Amino acid sequence: MPAEFSLRRADAADLPAIATVLIQARAAAVPAMPPAAHDADATVAWVQGWDLAEREVWVAEAGSGDGVVGFLALTPTWLDHLYVAPAAQRHGVGSALLDVALATRPRGFGLWVFETNEPARRFYRQAGLIELERTDGSENEEGAPDIRVVWPGERPLEFLRSEIDQVDGLLADLLARRVALTAAVQVRKPVGGQAGRDPVREREIADRMAARVPALGPERVARIVDAIITESLDATHR
């Protein structure tokens, strides 16, 4: 791999080479990444169908005439893909492509990375990106746990507060559902209100939740669960 490469916006003629880079990079990353969910032919067909008017794609092109050795695909708020051909890795291509994303998305963006892909996670951490959310992988095609990573942009406090606002909205909706369910349960229990609480069940609830929020730990989650149940019962029995 030569030391020199250039970056430019992709055009339709680059799509077959982009598909090749994607296929080779994904295959070389196993087992850090799970195997691709689609075969090579399906991947080529999918990439060749990209609308470059809607998807901003950049390529890294080797100065030696080796052609496209890496690419970056962006939407207004997401980094969808960043891949470098195996032979071109550890030569600064990935960092240069990521710099394009940082420069062209000053308000920030998000991306997903597989939890097992420690090289990619380290790459993004070193560039200042932040891991914010983990999933069990049930929503991706590979069925593998993944992590949402964000670049908070030039105004990180504003960006992260907007993330908090979104989470607070979700929490409010869930609390409303929890209160409604508590009210529905109360009329079907032989003993209602605070007197009818079941400590064993509440501990089971807290333990299940704590397993999904390891950063808080069981005791903190147990206190949160207790507060939610106490206040939901209080609201129900006013």
Q: What is the pLDDT of residues 152-166, one digit of tens each?
A: 999 999 999 999 999
Cβ-contact 5, 89 below 8 angstroms: no
Cβ-contact 117, 32 below 8 angstroms: yes
pLDDT at 231: 94
Place 195 in a pLDDT band, splitting at 50, 70 and 90: confident
- pLDDT of 113 > 80? The answer is yes
The pairing of beta strand 79-84 with beta strand 5-9: unpaired
pLDDT at 79: 98
pLDDT at 143: 94
Distance of CA 60 to the CA centre of its chain: 24
pLDDT at 205: 95
Give Cβ neighbours of residue 29 (< 8 Å, ≥ 6 apart).
117, 119
Model pTM score: 0.84
Both tokens assigned to 74: 């962006």
Q: What is the pLDDT of residues 25-52, one digit of tens each?
A: 999 999 999 999 999 999 999 999 999 9
Place 151 in a pLDDT band, splitting at 50, 70 and 90: very high
pLDDT at 188: 87
